[in-house]
Structure 1
Amino acid sequence: MWQTSGATRVSEIPELGGVPGQPAVGRAHLLRVLDEVDYGMLIIDAQGAILHANHLARHELASGRMLVSYGNTLLGSNAEFTAQMQVAMEAAFRGQRRLALLNKGERELAMTFTPLSHPLETDQPSVLVMLSRQSTCDNLAVRMFARTIGLSPSEEAVLMGLCRGLEIPEIAAEHGVAPSTIRSQIKTLREKAGSPSIRRLLQRINSLPPVVPALRIVMPMPHNASESIHP
Protein backbone atom coordinates (compact mmCIF):
# COMPACT_ATOMS: atom_id res chain seq x y z
CA MET A 1 0.00 0.00 0.00
CA TRP A 2 2.75 2.45 0.95
CA GLN A 3 6.05 2.60 -0.84
CA THR A 4 9.01 2.02 1.50
CA SER A 5 10.37 -1.05 3.23
CA GLY A 6 10.78 -1.84 6.89
CA ALA A 7 10.20 0.29 9.98
CA THR A 8 11.38 0.55 13.54
CA ARG A 9 9.18 -1.57 15.77
CA VAL A 10 7.91 -0.21 19.05
CA SER A 11 9.93 -2.95 20.76
CA GLU A 12 13.08 -1.36 19.29
CA ILE A 13 12.47 2.08 20.81
CA PRO A 14 15.37 2.80 23.22
CA GLU A 15 14.89 3.54 26.89
CA LEU A 16 14.52 7.27 27.53
CA GLY A 17 16.70 9.00 30.08
CA GLY A 18 15.15 11.23 32.72
CA VAL A 19 16.55 13.09 35.69
CA PRO A 20 20.28 12.36 36.17
CA GLY A 21 20.71 9.62 38.73
CA GLN A 22 17.15 8.37 38.24
CA PRO A 23 16.14 5.23 36.31
CA ALA A 24 15.31 5.66 32.64
CA VAL A 25 11.66 5.64 31.59
CA GLY A 26 10.99 2.22 30.10
CA ARG A 27 8.98 1.33 27.01
CA ALA A 28 6.23 -0.23 29.11
CA HIS A 29 5.70 3.04 30.98
CA LEU A 30 5.62 5.04 27.74
CA LEU A 31 3.03 2.72 26.21
CA ARG A 32 0.89 2.99 29.34
CA VAL A 33 1.10 6.78 29.07
CA LEU A 34 -0.06 6.62 25.44
CA ASP A 35 -3.08 4.59 26.57
CA GLU A 36 -4.11 7.46 28.86
CA VAL A 37 -3.97 10.11 26.10
CA ASP A 38 -7.40 11.44 25.12
CA TYR A 39 -6.74 10.91 21.41
CA GLY A 40 -6.49 7.74 19.39
CA MET A 41 -2.85 7.35 18.31
CA LEU A 42 -1.28 4.92 15.86
CA ILE A 43 2.27 4.52 14.60
CA ILE A 44 2.31 3.32 10.99
CA ASP A 45 5.19 2.04 8.88
CA ALA A 46 5.76 2.63 5.17
CA GLN A 47 3.55 -0.30 4.16
CA GLY A 48 0.63 0.96 6.22
CA ALA A 49 1.22 -1.67 8.92
CA ILE A 50 0.26 -0.74 12.47
CA LEU A 51 3.33 -0.74 14.71
CA HIS A 52 1.38 0.45 17.75
CA ALA A 53 -2.15 1.59 18.57
CA ASN A 54 -3.14 3.07 21.91
CA HIS A 55 -6.36 2.25 23.75
CA LEU A 56 -8.65 4.75 22.00
CA ALA A 57 -7.24 3.84 18.58
CA ARG A 58 -7.88 0.15 19.29
CA HIS A 59 -11.42 1.08 20.32
CA GLU A 60 -11.97 2.91 17.01
CA LEU A 61 -10.57 -0.03 15.03
CA ALA A 62 -12.73 -2.49 16.94
CA SER A 63 -15.87 -0.48 16.14
CA GLY A 64 -15.17 -0.70 12.39
CA ARG A 65 -17.15 2.50 11.81
CA MET A 66 -14.50 4.53 9.99
CA LEU A 67 -11.26 2.56 10.29
CA VAL A 68 -10.39 -1.13 10.12
CA SER A 69 -7.30 -3.24 10.55
CA TYR A 70 -6.92 -5.89 7.88
CA GLY A 71 -3.83 -8.07 8.09
CA ASN A 72 -2.46 -5.48 10.56
CA THR A 73 -2.75 -2.83 7.82
CA LEU A 74 -4.64 0.38 8.55
CA LEU A 75 -7.50 0.93 6.09
CA GLY A 76 -10.65 2.97 5.90
CA SER A 77 -13.98 1.21 6.30
CA ASN A 78 -14.71 1.98 2.63
CA ALA A 79 -12.69 2.69 -0.51
CA GLU A 80 -13.17 6.46 -0.30
CA PHE A 81 -11.78 6.64 3.24
CA THR A 82 -8.83 4.43 2.29
CA ALA A 83 -8.01 6.69 -0.68
CA GLN A 84 -8.11 9.82 1.53
CA MET A 85 -5.84 8.19 4.07
CA GLN A 86 -3.40 7.00 1.41
CA VAL A 87 -2.98 10.53 0.01
CA ALA A 88 -2.32 11.91 3.51
CA MET A 89 -0.01 9.03 4.42
CA GLU A 90 2.10 9.37 1.28
CA ALA A 91 2.49 13.10 1.94
CA ALA A 92 3.59 12.34 5.51
CA PHE A 93 6.28 9.97 4.24
CA ARG A 94 7.54 12.88 2.11
CA GLY A 95 7.93 14.88 5.32
CA GLN A 96 4.65 16.82 5.09
CA ARG A 97 1.93 17.03 7.74
CA ARG A 98 -1.60 16.33 6.59
CA LEU A 99 -5.19 16.37 7.86
CA ALA A 100 -7.87 13.98 6.58
CA LEU A 101 -11.57 14.33 7.38
CA LEU A 102 -13.67 11.18 7.13
CA ASN A 103 -17.42 11.79 7.11
CA LYS A 104 -20.11 9.16 7.52
CA GLY A 105 -23.59 10.52 8.13
CA GLU A 106 -23.44 12.79 11.16
CA ARG A 107 -20.17 11.29 12.34
CA GLU A 108 -16.82 12.83 11.44
CA LEU A 109 -13.40 11.45 12.22
CA ALA A 110 -10.49 13.87 11.85
CA MET A 111 -7.04 12.34 11.39
CA THR A 112 -3.66 14.04 11.40
CA PHE A 113 -0.63 12.41 9.78
CA THR A 114 2.72 13.52 11.20
CA PRO A 115 6.10 12.22 9.97
CA LEU A 116 8.23 10.86 12.80
CA SER A 117 11.43 11.13 10.77
CA HIS A 118 12.80 13.29 7.96
CA PRO A 119 12.66 11.66 4.51
CA LEU A 120 16.44 12.20 4.12
CA GLU A 121 17.30 10.57 7.43
CA THR A 122 18.64 7.03 7.43
CA ASP A 123 16.25 5.56 10.01
CA GLN A 124 13.24 3.64 8.77
CA PRO A 125 10.28 5.99 8.21
CA SER A 126 7.13 5.93 10.28
CA VAL A 127 4.12 8.20 10.69
CA LEU A 128 2.09 9.18 13.73
CA VAL A 129 -1.65 9.11 13.04
CA MET A 130 -3.76 10.96 15.61
CA LEU A 131 -7.55 10.69 15.72
CA SER A 132 -10.14 13.21 16.87
CA ARG A 133 -10.39 13.78 20.58
CA GLN A 134 -13.24 11.94 22.25
CA SER A 135 -16.28 14.08 23.00
CA THR A 136 -16.42 15.89 26.33
CA CYS A 137 -19.26 13.65 27.48
CA ASP A 138 -17.05 10.58 26.99
CA ASN A 139 -14.37 11.99 29.29
CA LEU A 140 -14.73 10.16 32.61
CA ALA A 141 -13.31 13.27 34.31
CA VAL A 142 -16.72 14.93 33.82
CA ARG A 143 -18.43 12.33 36.01
CA MET A 144 -15.55 12.45 38.47
CA PHE A 145 -15.93 16.25 38.60
CA ALA A 146 -19.67 15.90 39.24
CA ARG A 147 -19.08 13.57 42.16
CA THR A 148 -16.21 15.64 43.54
CA ILE A 149 -18.42 18.73 43.87
CA GLY A 150 -21.29 16.67 45.27
CA LEU A 151 -23.84 16.73 42.46
CA SER A 152 -26.88 14.51 42.86
CA PRO A 153 -27.54 11.90 40.13
CA SER A 154 -30.20 14.14 38.56
CA GLU A 155 -27.88 17.17 38.62
CA GLU A 156 -25.12 15.07 37.06
CA ALA A 157 -27.54 14.02 34.30
CA VAL A 158 -28.32 17.70 33.65
CA LEU A 159 -24.61 18.48 33.48
CA MET A 160 -24.11 15.70 30.93
CA GLY A 161 -26.96 17.14 28.87
CA LEU A 162 -25.31 20.56 28.88
CA CYS A 163 -22.03 18.96 27.80
CA ARG A 164 -23.88 17.38 24.86
CA GLY A 165 -25.02 20.85 23.78
CA LEU A 166 -28.69 20.35 24.67
CA GLU A 167 -30.94 23.30 25.46
CA ILE A 168 -32.95 23.44 28.69
CA PRO A 169 -36.25 22.37 27.02
CA GLU A 170 -34.47 19.42 25.39
CA ILE A 171 -32.98 18.28 28.70
CA ALA A 172 -36.39 18.66 30.35
CA ALA A 173 -38.10 16.60 27.64
CA GLU A 174 -35.41 13.93 27.87
CA HIS A 175 -35.96 13.53 31.61
CA GLY A 176 -39.72 14.07 31.61
CA VAL A 177 -39.69 17.12 33.88
CA ALA A 178 -40.62 20.78 33.54
CA PRO A 179 -38.01 23.25 32.19
CA SER A 180 -38.27 25.12 35.50
CA THR A 181 -36.96 22.01 37.27
CA ILE A 182 -33.93 21.91 34.97
CA ARG A 183 -33.28 25.63 35.55
CA SER A 184 -33.37 25.04 39.29
CA GLN A 185 -30.94 22.13 38.98
CA ILE A 186 -28.61 24.20 36.81
CA LYS A 187 -28.63 26.96 39.43
CA THR A 188 -27.74 24.41 42.12
CA LEU A 189 -24.96 22.76 40.14
CA ARG A 190 -23.49 26.18 39.23
CA GLU A 191 -23.44 27.07 42.92
CA LYS A 192 -21.78 23.78 43.82
CA ALA A 193 -19.19 24.28 41.06
CA GLY A 194 -18.64 27.95 41.96
CA SER A 195 -19.32 29.02 38.37
CA PRO A 196 -21.19 32.29 37.70
CA SER A 197 -22.67 31.09 34.39
CA ILE A 198 -23.27 28.00 32.27
CA ARG A 199 -20.61 29.20 29.83
CA ARG A 200 -17.98 29.42 32.56
CA LEU A 201 -19.04 26.03 33.88
CA LEU A 202 -18.63 24.41 30.45
CA GLN A 203 -15.28 26.14 29.96
CA ARG A 204 -14.18 24.58 33.22
CA ILE A 205 -15.46 21.18 32.10
CA ASN A 206 -13.58 21.45 28.80
CA SER A 207 -10.34 22.20 30.66
CA LEU A 208 -10.50 19.02 32.76
CA PRO A 209 -7.63 16.59 32.18
CA PRO A 210 -8.68 13.51 30.22
CA VAL A 211 -9.56 10.27 31.94
CA VAL A 212 -10.10 7.36 29.56
CA PRO A 213 -11.89 4.13 30.55
CA ALA A 214 -9.82 1.63 32.51
CA LEU A 215 -11.15 -1.26 30.42
CA ARG A 216 -8.64 -1.92 27.64
CA ILE A 217 -9.09 -3.54 24.24
CA VAL A 218 -6.08 -5.82 23.85
CA MET A 219 -6.36 -6.45 20.12
CA PRO A 220 -8.51 -4.92 17.36
CA MET A 221 -11.53 -7.04 16.51
CA PRO A 222 -11.04 -9.00 13.30
CA HIS A 223 -13.03 -7.79 10.32
CA ASN A 224 -14.32 -9.82 7.44
CA ALA A 225 -11.99 -9.57 4.46
CA SER A 226 -14.87 -8.64 2.19
CA GLU A 227 -15.51 -5.59 4.36
CA SER A 228 -11.88 -4.50 4.37
CA ILE A 229 -10.58 -5.08 0.85
CA HIS A 230 -11.44 -2.37 -1.64
CA PRO A 231 -11.18 -2.52 -5.42
Structure 2
Amino acid sequence: MLYFTHWGAFGGEHTLPDKFSELTAMIGTFYDAVIEPRLWQKALDDMRGHFGFHLGAISVIAMPTGTAVVQVTTNIPDEYLAGMQAYNDDVIELWGGVARMAEMPLEEPILQSRITGPDVWEGNRFYEEWVRPLGLVDQVGIMLARDRTMVGNIGLGVHESSQPLTEAHMEGLRLMAPHVRRAAIISRMLDGAASAAATFEAALDATRSAVVLVDAEMAIVHANSAARAMLGNGDPIASVRGKLSLPRELVPNRLQVAVQAAARAEHELGRRGIGIAAKSRDGTALSLQVMPLEKRTMRGGLDRRATVAVFIADATAPLEMPADAMRLLYELTPAEQRIFELVVSGETTASIARSLGVATSTVRSHLLKIFEKTNRHTRGDLVKLSREIILPG
Protein backbone atom coordinates (compact mmCIF):
# COMPACT_ATOMS: atom_id res chain seq x y z
CA MET A 1 0.00 0.00 0.00
CA LEU A 2 1.34 3.43 -0.97
CA TYR A 3 1.28 6.35 1.44
CA PHE A 4 2.49 9.02 -1.00
CA THR A 5 4.97 10.42 1.55
CA HIS A 6 7.42 11.16 -1.26
CA TRP A 7 5.11 13.73 -2.84
CA GLY A 8 6.27 17.31 -3.24
CA ALA A 9 3.45 18.64 -1.07
CA PHE A 10 5.09 16.91 1.87
CA GLY A 11 8.60 18.22 1.54
CA GLY A 12 9.94 16.32 -1.48
CA GLU A 13 11.23 17.70 -4.75
CA HIS A 14 8.53 16.29 -7.00
CA THR A 15 6.19 18.53 -8.96
CA LEU A 16 2.43 18.21 -9.34
CA PRO A 17 2.62 15.99 -12.45
CA ASP A 18 4.78 13.57 -10.43
CA LYS A 19 2.00 13.31 -7.87
CA PHE A 20 -0.38 12.26 -10.60
CA SER A 21 1.92 9.67 -12.16
CA GLU A 22 0.94 6.80 -9.84
CA LEU A 23 -2.75 7.65 -10.15
CA THR A 24 -2.88 7.88 -13.95
CA ALA A 25 -4.10 4.32 -14.48
CA MET A 26 -6.92 4.76 -11.96
CA ILE A 27 -7.94 8.08 -13.48
CA GLY A 28 -8.07 6.44 -16.89
CA THR A 29 -10.27 3.60 -15.66
CA PHE A 30 -12.90 6.06 -14.41
CA TYR A 31 -12.99 7.67 -17.86
CA ASP A 32 -13.14 4.20 -19.43
CA ALA A 33 -16.19 3.55 -17.24
CA VAL A 34 -18.07 6.38 -18.96
CA ILE A 35 -17.75 4.43 -22.21
CA GLU A 36 -17.90 0.92 -20.68
CA PRO A 37 -20.15 1.26 -17.58
CA ARG A 38 -19.22 -2.23 -16.36
CA LEU A 39 -15.78 -0.77 -15.51
CA TRP A 40 -17.14 1.39 -12.67
CA GLN A 41 -16.70 -1.67 -10.43
CA LYS A 42 -13.03 -2.04 -11.35
CA ALA A 43 -12.40 1.70 -11.05
CA LEU A 44 -13.82 1.78 -7.52
CA ASP A 45 -11.99 -1.38 -6.45
CA ASP A 46 -8.68 -0.05 -7.78
CA MET A 47 -9.22 3.18 -5.85
CA ARG A 48 -10.13 1.32 -2.66
CA GLY A 49 -7.10 -0.94 -2.86
CA HIS A 50 -4.66 1.80 -3.80
CA PHE A 51 -5.52 3.94 -0.79
CA GLY A 52 -5.88 1.00 1.60
CA PHE A 53 -9.60 1.21 2.37
CA HIS A 54 -11.55 -1.87 3.44
CA LEU A 55 -14.67 -1.32 1.35
CA GLY A 56 -16.21 1.28 -0.90
CA ALA A 57 -19.34 2.45 -2.68
CA ILE A 58 -20.20 4.95 -5.41
CA SER A 59 -23.73 6.19 -5.90
CA VAL A 60 -24.85 8.57 -8.65
CA ILE A 61 -28.59 9.16 -8.85
CA ALA A 62 -30.39 11.07 -11.61
CA MET A 63 -32.83 13.68 -10.40
CA PRO A 64 -35.75 14.09 -10.24
CA THR A 65 -36.45 10.50 -11.34
CA GLY A 66 -34.27 8.83 -8.71
CA THR A 67 -32.84 6.48 -11.35
CA ALA A 68 -29.42 5.01 -10.59
CA VAL A 69 -26.76 6.20 -13.04
CA VAL A 70 -23.93 4.49 -11.15
CA GLN A 71 -24.49 2.18 -8.20
CA VAL A 72 -21.50 -0.02 -7.40
CA THR A 73 -19.82 -1.36 -4.27
CA THR A 74 -16.62 -3.22 -3.52
CA ASN A 75 -15.74 -5.73 -0.79
CA ILE A 76 -19.11 -5.44 0.96
CA PRO A 77 -20.51 -8.89 1.86
CA ASP A 78 -23.76 -9.78 0.11
CA GLU A 79 -25.65 -10.17 3.38
CA TYR A 80 -24.79 -6.57 4.28
CA LEU A 81 -25.70 -5.22 0.85
CA ALA A 82 -29.23 -6.57 1.14
CA GLY A 83 -31.58 -4.00 2.62
CA MET A 84 -29.05 -1.16 2.79
CA GLN A 85 -31.67 1.34 1.63
CA ALA A 86 -33.56 0.77 4.88
CA TYR A 87 -30.72 2.57 6.67
CA ASN A 88 -30.84 5.83 4.67
CA ASP A 89 -32.01 8.00 7.57
CA ASP A 90 -29.46 6.42 9.91
CA VAL A 91 -26.61 7.05 7.47
CA ILE A 92 -27.64 10.69 7.14
CA GLU A 93 -27.62 10.99 10.94
CA LEU A 94 -24.04 9.64 11.06
CA TRP A 95 -23.03 12.45 8.68
CA GLY A 96 -24.60 15.13 10.87
CA GLY A 97 -27.95 15.47 9.12
CA VAL A 98 -29.13 16.85 5.80
CA ALA A 99 -28.17 20.46 6.55
CA ARG A 100 -24.64 19.50 7.55
CA MET A 101 -24.19 17.34 4.46
CA ALA A 102 -25.30 20.27 2.29
CA GLU A 103 -22.32 22.24 3.63
CA MET A 104 -19.76 19.68 2.45
CA PRO A 105 -17.85 20.98 -0.58
CA LEU A 106 -17.88 18.86 -3.70
CA GLU A 107 -14.66 16.91 -4.37
CA GLU A 108 -13.35 17.37 -0.81
CA PRO A 109 -12.65 14.12 1.12
CA ILE A 110 -14.30 14.37 4.55
CA LEU A 111 -13.66 12.07 7.50
CA GLN A 112 -16.90 11.10 9.23
CA SER A 113 -15.17 11.30 12.62
CA ARG A 114 -14.68 15.04 12.03
CA ILE A 115 -18.43 15.46 11.59
CA THR A 116 -19.85 13.27 14.36
CA GLY A 117 -18.50 11.09 17.15
CA PRO A 118 -19.43 8.27 19.54
CA ASP A 119 -22.24 10.34 21.05
CA VAL A 120 -24.03 10.08 17.68
CA TRP A 121 -22.73 6.67 16.63
CA GLU A 122 -23.74 4.73 19.74
CA GLY A 123 -27.30 3.54 19.31
CA ASN A 124 -27.48 4.50 15.64
CA ARG A 125 -29.06 1.53 13.86
CA PHE A 126 -26.71 1.58 10.87
CA TYR A 127 -23.67 1.85 13.11
CA GLU A 128 -24.76 -0.95 15.44
CA GLU A 129 -26.02 -3.36 12.76
CA TRP A 130 -23.66 -2.60 9.88
CA VAL A 131 -20.59 -0.48 10.68
CA ARG A 132 -19.47 -2.06 13.95
CA PRO A 133 -19.95 -5.72 12.88
CA LEU A 134 -17.83 -5.07 9.77
CA GLY A 135 -15.00 -3.73 11.92
CA LEU A 136 -15.15 -0.22 10.47
CA VAL A 137 -13.81 2.63 12.58
CA ASP A 138 -14.24 5.57 10.20
CA GLN A 139 -15.32 6.53 6.70
CA VAL A 140 -14.22 9.02 4.08
CA GLY A 141 -17.01 10.60 2.09
CA ILE A 142 -16.62 12.62 -1.12
CA MET A 143 -19.58 14.49 -2.57
CA LEU A 144 -19.54 14.33 -6.37
CA ALA A 145 -22.75 16.19 -7.22
CA ARG A 146 -25.65 17.91 -5.51
CA ASP A 147 -27.90 19.78 -7.92
CA ARG A 148 -31.26 19.58 -9.68
CA THR A 149 -30.02 16.94 -12.16
CA MET A 150 -28.11 14.52 -9.93
CA VAL A 151 -26.73 13.64 -6.53
CA GLY A 152 -23.62 11.55 -6.16
CA ASN A 153 -21.05 10.49 -3.60
CA ILE A 154 -18.25 8.08 -2.79
CA GLY A 155 -17.94 6.29 0.56
CA LEU A 156 -14.71 4.53 1.58
CA GLY A 157 -14.62 2.53 4.81
CA VAL A 158 -11.61 2.41 7.16
CA HIS A 159 -11.13 -0.94 8.93
CA GLU A 160 -9.89 -1.27 12.50
CA SER A 161 -6.83 -3.16 11.21
CA SER A 162 -5.88 -0.42 8.72
CA GLN A 163 -3.02 2.00 9.12
CA PRO A 164 -4.20 5.49 10.16
CA LEU A 165 -5.14 7.81 7.32
CA THR A 166 -2.70 10.65 6.78
CA GLU A 167 -3.02 14.02 5.08
CA ALA A 168 -1.10 12.46 2.19
CA HIS A 169 -3.96 9.99 1.68
CA MET A 170 -6.45 12.85 1.70
CA GLU A 171 -4.37 14.82 -0.80
CA GLY A 172 -4.31 11.79 -3.10
CA LEU A 173 -8.10 11.57 -2.91
CA ARG A 174 -8.35 15.29 -3.70
CA LEU A 175 -6.32 14.71 -6.84
CA MET A 176 -8.62 11.86 -7.89
CA ALA A 177 -11.91 13.54 -7.00
CA PRO A 178 -12.38 15.94 -9.97
CA HIS A 179 -11.76 13.11 -12.43
CA VAL A 180 -14.33 10.87 -10.72
CA ARG A 181 -16.76 13.78 -10.58
CA ARG A 182 -16.30 14.49 -14.30
CA ALA A 183 -16.92 10.82 -15.12
CA ALA A 184 -20.10 10.88 -13.01
CA ILE A 185 -21.40 14.09 -14.61
CA ILE A 186 -20.83 12.81 -18.15
CA SER A 187 -22.38 9.44 -17.31
CA ARG A 188 -25.47 11.33 -16.18
CA MET A 189 -25.50 13.33 -19.42
CA LEU A 190 -25.32 10.13 -21.46
CA ASP A 191 -28.39 8.97 -19.51
CA GLY A 192 -27.81 5.25 -19.96
CA ALA A 193 -27.03 5.47 -23.67
CA ALA A 194 -23.53 4.05 -23.18
CA SER A 195 -24.93 0.80 -21.76
CA ALA A 196 -27.55 0.36 -24.46
CA ALA A 197 -25.51 1.26 -27.56
CA ALA A 198 -23.24 -1.10 -29.46
CA THR A 199 -20.54 1.56 -29.93
CA PHE A 200 -19.62 4.75 -28.11
CA GLU A 201 -20.37 6.79 -31.22
CA ALA A 202 -23.86 5.27 -31.27
CA ALA A 203 -24.22 6.19 -27.59
CA LEU A 204 -23.31 9.79 -28.37
CA ASP A 205 -25.84 9.90 -31.19
CA ALA A 206 -28.53 8.46 -28.91
CA THR A 207 -28.07 10.93 -26.06
CA ARG A 208 -30.07 14.15 -25.91
CA SER A 209 -27.03 16.14 -24.78
CA ALA A 210 -24.94 17.83 -27.46
CA VAL A 211 -21.52 16.21 -27.89
CA VAL A 212 -18.65 17.22 -30.16
CA LEU A 213 -15.49 15.15 -30.61
CA VAL A 214 -12.40 17.18 -31.46
CA ASP A 215 -8.67 16.71 -31.88
CA ALA A 216 -5.98 18.52 -29.90
CA GLU A 217 -6.28 21.57 -32.16
CA MET A 218 -10.08 21.81 -31.69
CA ALA A 219 -10.78 20.47 -35.20
CA ILE A 220 -14.24 18.89 -35.24
CA VAL A 221 -14.09 15.15 -35.86
CA HIS A 222 -17.68 14.19 -35.04
CA ALA A 223 -20.83 15.89 -33.75
CA ASN A 224 -24.01 14.14 -32.68
CA SER A 225 -27.40 15.33 -33.91
CA ALA A 226 -27.96 17.78 -31.03
CA ALA A 227 -24.52 19.31 -31.58
CA ARG A 228 -24.99 19.49 -35.35
CA ALA A 229 -28.14 21.56 -34.82
CA MET A 230 -26.19 23.96 -32.60
CA LEU A 231 -23.35 24.19 -35.09
CA GLY A 232 -25.83 24.86 -37.89
CA ASN A 233 -27.24 27.80 -35.94
CA GLY A 234 -23.84 28.99 -34.76
CA ASP A 235 -25.30 29.04 -31.25
CA PRO A 236 -24.12 28.31 -28.62
CA ILE A 237 -21.22 26.60 -30.38
CA ALA A 238 -19.87 27.32 -33.84
CA SER A 239 -17.50 25.91 -36.42
CA VAL A 240 -14.80 28.35 -37.50
CA ARG A 241 -12.77 26.90 -40.38
CA GLY A 242 -13.68 23.45 -39.12
CA LYS A 243 -12.66 24.11 -35.52
CA LEU A 244 -14.96 24.19 -32.51
CA SER A 245 -15.63 27.68 -31.18
CA LEU A 246 -17.56 28.88 -28.13
CA PRO A 247 -18.55 32.48 -28.98
CA ARG A 248 -20.06 33.45 -25.63
CA GLU A 249 -17.66 31.74 -23.24
CA LEU A 250 -17.76 33.68 -19.97
CA VAL A 251 -14.02 33.36 -19.35
CA PRO A 252 -12.29 33.34 -22.75
CA ASN A 253 -10.14 30.39 -23.84
CA ARG A 254 -11.00 28.07 -20.94
CA LEU A 255 -12.41 25.50 -23.36
CA GLN A 256 -9.31 25.57 -25.55
CA VAL A 257 -6.98 25.26 -22.55
CA ALA A 258 -8.97 22.30 -21.21
CA VAL A 259 -8.99 20.54 -24.59
CA GLN A 260 -5.25 20.98 -24.98
CA ALA A 261 -4.61 19.68 -21.45
CA ALA A 262 -6.86 16.66 -22.02
CA ALA A 263 -5.13 15.88 -25.31
CA ARG A 264 -1.65 16.07 -23.76
CA ALA A 265 -2.25 13.84 -20.75
CA GLU A 266 -5.52 13.18 -18.98
CA HIS A 267 -4.00 13.58 -15.52
CA GLU A 268 -3.05 17.17 -16.43
CA LEU A 269 -6.70 18.03 -16.91
CA GLY A 270 -7.46 18.17 -13.18
CA ARG A 271 -10.44 20.46 -12.65
CA ARG A 272 -10.05 22.13 -16.03
CA GLY A 273 -13.01 21.36 -18.22
CA ILE A 274 -15.57 20.80 -15.46
CA GLY A 275 -18.46 23.22 -15.81
CA ILE A 276 -16.97 25.64 -18.35
CA ALA A 277 -19.47 28.50 -18.31
CA ALA A 278 -20.99 30.02 -21.43
CA LYS A 279 -24.23 31.53 -22.69
CA SER A 280 -26.39 31.00 -25.72
CA ARG A 281 -27.54 33.91 -27.86
CA ASP A 282 -30.74 34.29 -25.83
CA GLY A 283 -28.81 34.41 -22.54
CA THR A 284 -29.42 30.81 -21.43
CA ALA A 285 -26.62 29.70 -19.09
CA LEU A 286 -24.65 26.71 -20.33
CA SER A 287 -22.13 24.33 -18.83
CA LEU A 288 -19.55 22.36 -20.83
CA GLN A 289 -17.67 19.25 -19.75
CA VAL A 290 -14.43 18.06 -21.34
CA MET A 291 -13.37 14.38 -21.29
CA PRO A 292 -10.14 12.88 -22.68
CA LEU A 293 -10.58 10.14 -25.30
CA GLU A 294 -7.14 9.28 -26.64
CA LYS A 295 -6.47 6.39 -24.25
CA ARG A 296 -10.03 5.15 -23.96
CA THR A 297 -10.98 1.53 -24.64
CA MET A 298 -13.44 2.22 -27.46
CA ARG A 299 -16.16 -0.19 -28.48
CA GLY A 300 -15.34 0.18 -32.15
CA GLY A 301 -16.34 2.65 -34.81
CA LEU A 302 -14.96 5.86 -33.28
CA ASP A 303 -12.62 7.98 -35.36
CA ARG A 304 -9.17 7.75 -33.78
CA ARG A 305 -8.46 11.38 -34.62
CA ALA A 306 -10.82 12.30 -31.78
CA THR A 307 -8.79 12.97 -28.64
CA VAL A 308 -11.36 14.92 -26.58
CA ALA A 309 -15.14 14.87 -26.14
CA VAL A 310 -16.94 18.13 -25.34
CA PHE A 311 -20.42 17.84 -23.79
CA ILE A 312 -22.76 20.86 -23.88
CA ALA A 313 -25.84 21.25 -21.67
CA ASP A 314 -27.85 23.86 -19.80
CA ALA A 315 -26.30 24.93 -16.51
CA THR A 316 -27.68 23.09 -13.49
CA ALA A 317 -27.94 26.28 -11.40
CA PRO A 318 -27.68 30.04 -11.92
CA LEU A 319 -24.35 31.69 -11.21
CA GLU A 320 -24.04 33.20 -7.74
CA MET A 321 -21.85 36.26 -7.31
CA PRO A 322 -19.14 36.66 -6.20
CA ALA A 323 -18.37 33.02 -5.39
CA ASP A 324 -19.03 31.59 -8.86
CA ALA A 325 -17.14 34.46 -10.47
CA MET A 326 -14.15 33.58 -8.27
CA ARG A 327 -14.42 29.92 -9.26
CA LEU A 328 -14.55 30.70 -12.96
CA LEU A 329 -11.94 33.43 -13.12
CA TYR A 330 -9.40 31.86 -10.76
CA GLU A 331 -10.18 28.16 -11.26
CA LEU A 332 -10.93 27.55 -7.60
CA THR A 333 -11.87 24.05 -6.49
CA PRO A 334 -15.30 23.66 -4.81
CA ALA A 335 -13.58 23.55 -1.41
CA GLU A 336 -11.56 26.69 -2.17
CA GLN A 337 -14.71 28.42 -3.39
CA ARG A 338 -16.57 27.55 -0.18
CA ILE A 339 -13.66 28.65 2.01
CA PHE A 340 -13.49 31.92 0.08
CA GLU A 341 -17.19 32.48 0.84
CA LEU A 342 -16.69 31.79 4.55
CA VAL A 343 -13.57 33.96 4.80
CA VAL A 344 -15.39 36.85 3.15
CA SER A 345 -18.27 36.42 5.61
CA GLY A 346 -15.80 36.79 8.50
CA GLU A 347 -15.40 33.19 9.66
CA THR A 348 -12.18 32.16 11.43
CA THR A 349 -10.01 29.24 10.35
CA ALA A 350 -11.25 27.15 13.27
CA SER A 351 -14.93 27.85 12.56
CA ILE A 352 -14.46 27.07 8.86
CA ALA A 353 -12.83 23.75 9.76
CA ARG A 354 -15.75 22.85 12.05
CA SER A 355 -18.30 23.88 9.44
CA LEU A 356 -16.73 21.84 6.64
CA GLY A 357 -15.62 18.89 8.73
CA VAL A 358 -11.93 19.19 7.86
CA ALA A 359 -8.72 19.84 9.78
CA THR A 360 -7.60 23.42 10.40
CA SER A 361 -4.42 22.54 8.50
CA THR A 362 -6.58 21.67 5.48
CA VAL A 363 -8.31 25.05 5.66
CA ARG A 364 -4.93 26.81 5.84
CA SER A 365 -3.67 24.81 2.86
CA HIS A 366 -6.72 25.72 0.79
CA LEU A 367 -6.43 29.36 1.85
CA LEU A 368 -2.80 29.49 0.73
CA LYS A 369 -3.87 28.14 -2.66
CA ILE A 370 -6.58 30.82 -2.88
CA PHE A 371 -3.99 33.52 -2.14
CA GLU A 372 -1.68 32.05 -4.78
CA LYS A 373 -4.36 31.76 -7.47
CA THR A 374 -5.73 35.26 -6.87
CA ASN A 375 -2.36 36.95 -6.23
CA ARG A 376 -3.74 38.26 -2.93
CA HIS A 377 -2.00 38.08 0.43
CA THR A 378 -4.51 38.70 3.23
CA ARG A 379 -8.09 37.96 4.16
CA GLY A 380 -8.81 41.66 3.80
CA ASP A 381 -7.57 41.48 0.21
CA LEU A 382 -10.08 38.68 -0.46
CA VAL A 383 -12.93 40.71 1.04
CA LYS A 384 -12.00 43.63 -1.20
CA LEU A 385 -11.78 41.33 -4.22
CA SER A 386 -15.24 39.94 -3.51
CA ARG A 387 -16.68 43.46 -3.76
CA GLU A 388 -14.91 44.27 -7.01
CA ILE A 389 -15.09 41.07 -9.02
CA ILE A 390 -17.23 40.86 -12.15
CA LEU A 391 -17.48 38.34 -14.96
CA PRO A 392 -16.66 39.33 -18.54
CA GLY A 393 -19.68 39.77 -20.78
TM-score, normalised relative to structure 1: 0.38
Structure with the larger helix share: 2
TM-score, normalised relative to structure 2: 0.24
Structure with bigger RCO (C-alpha 8 Å, 6+ apart):
1
